[in-house]
Amino acid sequence: MFEIPKTMTGAYLPGNSTVEFKEYEIPELKHGEVLVKTKASTICGSDIRCIYNEHLGKGPEGYQPFMIAGHEPSGQIVQCGPGTRRFKEGDRVVIYHISGCGLCNDCRRGYMISCTSEAYRKAYGWQRDGGMAPYIVAEEKDLVMLPEELSYADGAQVACGFGTVYEGLEKIGISGNDAVLITGLGPVGLAAAMLCRAMGAQNIIGIEANDERIGIARSLELRKGSGIRLFDTVLKAGPDNVAAVRSLTGGMGCEKAVECSANAVARLTAVQATRKWGSIVLIGEGGLMSPDFAPSRDMIHDQKTMFGSWVTNMWRMEELIERLVRWNIHPADLITHRFPLAQAPAAYALMNSGNCGKVAVCFDEELPI
Ligand SMILES: NC(=O)c1ccc[n+]([C@@H]2O[C@H](COP(=O)([O-])OP(=O)(O)OC[C@H]3O[C@@H](n4cnc5c(N)ncnc54)[C@H](O)[C@@H]3O)[C@@H](O)[C@H]2O)c1
Ligand SMILES: [Zn+2]
Ligand SMILES: [Zn+2]
């Protein structure tokens, strides 16, 4: 029988742009918990901004020192604790990246991200151990089943980034009617393009500041080898962006805009390059809106709608996984670099540089040979 070790090496983030390793105990499972063998654990822009470079967020909201990092894990259940009801050993799973109390109104809606219980809201990789280790203790209620058609790396991409983007796109509604502007082409912006393309959007325009990422965005396809590009046009961020988007859309602007950069100027571009009656969703986090934003001119008189969107809920994550299989698309295609856990320092440094697509720490069959 498979022997689960007593201890393991995990990676934590001291907050000075380094990664450290430490030995951690693998605890006995409590009621409703499962032990997941980690297979893929991807790095998010939020990890870099809020934990790797400095520890933003204080008290229970902040990263707790020495917590195993990584809030985008996917893996296989190797042990079930007492009282588990649905999942069993051998199941392939994605871990929704926040464990909530399960009983507040937000948790009951499936949005554990905004659980209101100070005592029970704990994000994996922030306030409880996450995916940068060979094993993760997860609560059964935080699991989403990963079907055979999708790889563990696909699953890790769903745990935060793709789930977040799917939620934002469902808020504004994307169809074949839409020209879509995406600002900020990090992993989240690339995910937005992949899902918009799969949902039928015909004219997808991206704006990005980093030349390496512009090159990556231009080269990516809906499915590898399909010849269907993710973007119709990728523009370098600059002062003439609004005019350029208008000229690519018959002078009108896009029907929909997805803001994934968190940059103040790009936020204003997303609003101004959206046509009358159009919708904008803000996904990029932190910072401010440009001081040049004029609500009457930029929103009210053009009858536009703006949404904020924070992560997703449990059922929508399940729905997204079903759609990924239906559309035959693979979020892992956006991963440009895979590292073993021992090279986590290089993985975080690369993601911090921005000269990459998605970066993953992988285990077992998910590591390239
Ligand atoms: N709302 C949510 O629930 C949620 C969930 C996950 C991530 N996020 C946030 O989404 C954002 C994107 O995540 P990511 O992992 O792709 O991060 P990222 O930092 O890798 O990507 C942001 C991109 O924006 C680009 N950018 C900067 N200035 C720009 C400008 N003026 N015009 C165009 N592009 C510009 C950067 O070069 C970078 O490529 C981050 O702010 C992250 O914190 C939000
Ligand atoms: Zn994330
Ligand atoms: Zn709750």
From 56, 72, 166, 188, give the residue whose CB has the most ligand 1 atoms within 8 Å, as the site to mutate.
188
Q: Measured in angstroms, how far is the CA atom of residue 6 from the centroid of ligand 1?
A: 38
Nearest ligand to the CA atom of 260: 1
Please state, rounded to an integer, the average pLDDT across all residues of the chain: 97
Q: Measured in angstroms, how far is the CA atom of residue 186 from the centroid of ligand 2?
A: 12
Domain 171-308, architecture per CATH: 3-Layer(aba) Sandwich (3.40)
Edge-to-edge strand ranges of the sheet holding 179-183: 233-236, 203-208, 179-183, 254-259, 274-282, 305-308
- What is the C-alpha to C-alpha distance for residues 246 and 242, in angstroms, rounded to an integer? 6
Q: Measured in angstroms, how far is the CA atom of residue 263 from the centroid of ligand 1?
A: 8
From 50, 63, 162, 285, give the residue whose CB has the most ligand 1 atoms within 8 Å, as the site to mutate.
285
The answer, yes or no, to whether residue 87 has pLDDT greater than 70, is yes
Task: Please state the rounded mean pLDDT for residues 201-215.
Answer: 97
Residue 38 neighbours by CB under 8 Å, 6+ apart: 73, 74, 75, 131, 133, 134, 135, 136, 363
Which residues have beta carbons under 5 A from ligand 2 (an ion)?
44, 46, 160
The answer, yes or no, to whether residue 340 has pLDDT greater than 80, is yes
The lowest-confidence range among 45-49, 68-72, 200-204, 305-309 is 45-49
Nearest ligand to the CA atom of 267: 1
pLDDT in tens, 105-141: 999 999 999 999 999 999 999 999 999 999 999 999 9
pLDDT of 61:
76
pLDDT of 60:
74
**Reported pTM:** 0.97
Q: Work out the pLDDT band at 369, boundaries 50, 70, 90.
A: low
**Tokens 């290089």, located at residue:** 346
What are the sequence ranges of the domains in the chain?
7-146+330-366, 171-308
Q: Measured in angstroms, how far is the CA atom of residue 358 from the centroid of ligand 1?
A: 12
**What residues does 139 pair with on adjacent strands?**
33
- For the record, the structure tokens of 94 come out as 């994605």
pLDDT in tens, 246-289: 999 999 999 999 999 999 999 999 999 999 999 999 999 999 99
- For the record, the structure tokens of 270 come out as 């997303």
Cα first-last separation, the chain: 27
Q: Measured in angstroms, how far is the CA atom of residue 263 from the centroid of ligand 3?
A: 31
pLDDT in tens, 37-81: 999 999 999 999 999 999 998 777 799 999 999 999 999 999 999
| Atom of ligand 1 lying closest to residue 183 CA | 33
pLDDT of 57:
82
Q: According to CATH, what is the number of the domain 7-146+330-366?
A: 3.90.180.10
Task: Please state the rounded mean pLDDT for residues 334-357.
Answer: 97
The 3-state secondary structure of the chain, one letter per residue: CCCCCCEEEEEECCCCCCCEEEEEECCCCCCCEEEEEEEEEECCHHHHHHHHCCCCCCHHHCCCCCCCCCCCEEEEEEEECCCCCCCCCCCEEEECCEECCCCCHHHHCCCHHHCCCCCCCEEECCCECCCCCCEEEEEHHHEEECCCCCCHHHHHHHHHHHHHHHHHHHHHCCCCCCEEEEECCCHHHHHHHHHHHHCCCCEEEEEECCHHHHHHHHHCECCCCCCCECCCEEEECCCCHHHHHHHCCCCCCEEEEEECCCCHHHHHHHHHCEEEEEEEEECCCCCCCCCCCCHHHHHHCCCCEEEECCCCCHHHHHHHHHHHHHHCCCHHHHEEEEECHHHHHHHHHHHHHCCCCEEEEECHHHCCC
Pocket of ligand 1 from Cβ distances under 6 Å: 44-46, 49, 160, 164, 183-189, 207-210, 213, 237, 260-263, 265-266, 283-286, 309-311, 354
Residue 273 near residue 254, CB atoms below 8 Å: yes
The answer, yes or no, to whether residue 231 has pLDDT greater than 70, is yes
Q: Measured in angstroms, how far is the CA atom of residue 100 from the centroid of ligand 3?
A: 5
Q: Work out the pLDDT band at 1, boundaries 50, 70, 90.
A: low
Task: Please state the rounded mean pLDDT for residues 361-367.
Answer: 96
- For the record, the structure tokens of 296 come out as 């009457």
Share of the chain above pLDDT 90, in %: 97
Nearest CA to ligand 1 atom 15: 45
